[in-house]
A and B are shown apart, each in its own frame.
Chain A
Amino acid sequence: MAKPMLDYVLASAALLDVPLDAARASAVAQVLARTAAMAQQLEQFALDTQEEPCALYCPAPFPAGDGFDAPDDAAAAPGQDVARPGVPS
C-alpha cells in the first residue's frame, strides 16, 4: 500500500479516535485507494462552481395533479387520491 494513503488512514483515524491495528489500517487503506480512483472520476467530471450540492435529495417534484397518463380508452381515472384497495375481485 502506498505510504501516503496509509499515512492518511492512520492520521485521520487518530484524529477521529478510531483504533486501528497495522493489519486493519492496511486493509482500510486498500479500500480507500479503490475509492480514490472513483473520486478521481468525479474530479475529472466538469462541474460549474455555481452547481450547488443537492440538499435533501428529491428526484423530481411530487406531481401536483394526477401525474399518470392514461390511454384514451382507460376505464378508470388513475393517479387520483384513492381509498386503500379492498380485496381484489
Chain B
Amino acid sequence: MSAALGKASAIAMARAIAAGEISAREVLAMTLQRIQASDPQVNAFTLRTWERATREADAVDALRRTGAVLPALAGVPYAVKNLFDIAGEVTVAGSRVHARAAPAQDDAFLVRQMHRAGGVLVGALNMDEYAYGFTTENSHYGATRNPHATTRSAGGSSGGSGAAVAAGMVPIALASDTNGSIRVPASFCGVWGLKPTFGRLSRSGSFPFVHSLDHLGPLAESVESLALAYDVLQGPDPSDPGCHATRVQAVGPTRLFGLDRLRVGVLGGYFDDYATAPARMAAARVAHALGADAVVQWPHAAVARAAAFITTASEGGRLHLNDLRTQQQDFEPLSVDRFLAGALQPAAWLLRAQQFRRLYRRAVNALFQEWDLLIAPATPVSAPLLGTEWLDINGEQLPCRASIGLLTQPISYAGCPVVTAPVWPDGNAGLPLGVQLIAAPWREDLALRAAQVLQDCGCAGTRSVGL
C-alpha cells in the first residue's frame, strides 16, 4: 500500500485496513503527516485530537487481529466542525466566549455514531463564529483558506470542513447547515456535501445556531464516502426533539440505481437571476448530464429567503442575548451587529415568517409531486477573495457575506435534502462551483443516485490540490 493512501477515499482506506494490507495506525500516521504539511497553508483545524485518534486506530487494529468483521468506517480518519461536542474538549463553536466553557462530558450523537462505525477522529475544524457567516473569516482563529486558491474563501460557516476534505487531510468531515453552511463550502472547495432532510440526523451534542433550521451532515471526497458516512450517521434519537426520523433508511443499496425514470428539472427564475455566468454554466452542465431540459419555478423563493433571514436573526440573536449583554466585546466583529439586530427584532417579523413557513411547506411538497429532483447552483459565484465586501451579481451590487447564501436559503427553509456536486466550469480560473441536487423531504436516496451518475460520467467530482 502506497503512501498515496493518505489521500485516498474512505472506502479504499476501510477496504485496505479490513484486508490487512495496512493498519489503521499506519493510515493515521499518513493522515497526521498530511495535516502537518497542509494545514499551515489552509488553517482548517482548530483542535487536534491525536491521542484519541491513536487510541481509536489501535482499537480497530486490535479488533482486526481477532478476525472480527470490521464496521463500515473502521480506521477511516475524519474531523468535525468545532461545534460538535468531543468528550474532554471545549466546544468553542468558533467563538472566544465559549472557549472559556467547561469541556464536553460526552461526544455528540453523530460523533458517537462515527465512533461505533470505527471512524478515527483527528480533530475539530474552523468555522464562522456560532455559524453566522458564509466565509469562515474568523477573527479569533484566523480565516480558513481555500485549498484550491489560498487567497480565497473556503466558504462557510463550515469552511474548515470543506477545506480539510478538499486538501486531502481527511476523506470525511462533519458539519452543520442552517442556511447553506455545508453547501457553500462544498461549492467553494469542490467537494461533495450532503445536507439531509431537516429532522433526519440528530443534533444532540452540537452547539445550536437556529433550532428551527439547524441541520447536520457530512462532506466527503466522493459520493461513495458521502453515502457511507450518511448511512452510519443515521439513527433515531429521542434526545433531539427535532430528530423526526424514527429508523435508518440506508442509501447504500440504492446509490447505484441510476436515473431510472427520475423526473429532473432545472430551477429558473430566482435561481437564474442570482446566478453569475459560471454558476449557470455549472448548473447547465449537470442538467445536460442528467437529461434535464425543463425549467421549473420554485415557489416563493425570494420570500422564503427573507423568512429564513429573519428566522435566523431572531433565533440566533436570542440564543446569545445574555452574552451580548455581558461579553459583547468578545464577539466576532464581522457578525456581532447581526446578532444584536436579531436579538432586537420585532416578534411580529418572526411570527410572520413562521406563518409563511407552513404555507411554503405545502407549496414545496406540491412541487415534488411533479418532480423527483431539481437542479440549481449552490452559490451565485465561485469562492471570492478573502475580505471581499461586495459581490456583483449580474450588475447588482450585493453585500458579499450575506448574499453568498442567496441560492441555498430558500431550500433549507423548506427542509429538503440536498447533495452539492462539485463542478468545474470552463474559464473559471480552475475554481469549482457546486450544484445543488434537491429532492423531496426524506428522499436523500434520489439526490445521491443522481450524484453517483454525475461522478461516474465525469461531470462532477473532486480534484487534488498541490499543497
Contacts and interface: CB of A to CB of B under 8 A. Distances in A.
Interface of A: 8-9, 12-13, 16-20, 24, 27-32, 34-35, 38-39, 41-43, 45, 47, 51-54, 56-60, 62-63, 66-68, 70-71, 74-79, 81-82, 84-89
A13 to B, nearest CB: 6
A53 B354 CA distance: 5
B62 interface: no
Interface of B: 11, 14-15, 18, 69-72, 74, 116-117, 197-199, 212-213, 224, 228, 231-232, 241-242, 244-254, 257-258, 260-261, 300, 302-303, 305-307, 309-310, 313, 321, 324-325, 328, 337-338, 340-346, 349, 351-359, 361, 365, 402, 414-416, 440-443, 445
Main secondary structure of the interface of A (DSSP, over half): loop
Given A28-B344, A62-B199, A67 B352 contact: no
Contacts of A74: 254, 257
Contacts of B356: 42, 45, 47
Nearest to B314: A35
Nearest to B413: A57
10 contacts: A31-B337, A35-B345, A35-B349, A47-B355, A52-B355, A53-B354, A58-B199, A59-B442, A81-B247, A87-B18
Contacts of B117: 84
Contact of B70 (A8, A39, A86): A86
A6 to B, nearest CB: 12
A52 B355 CA distance: 6
A42 B413 CA distance: 14
A20 B340 contact: yes
Best-buried of A12, A67, A78, A89 by chain B (most CB within 10 Å):
A78
Given A42-B306, A47-B359, A79-B249, A19 B244 contact: no
A58 B184 CA distance: 23
B242 A56 contact: yes
A87 B442 contact: no
Given A47-B355, A59-B415, A78 B337 contact: no
B257 A51 contact: no
B244 A62 contact: yes
A38 B309 contact: yes
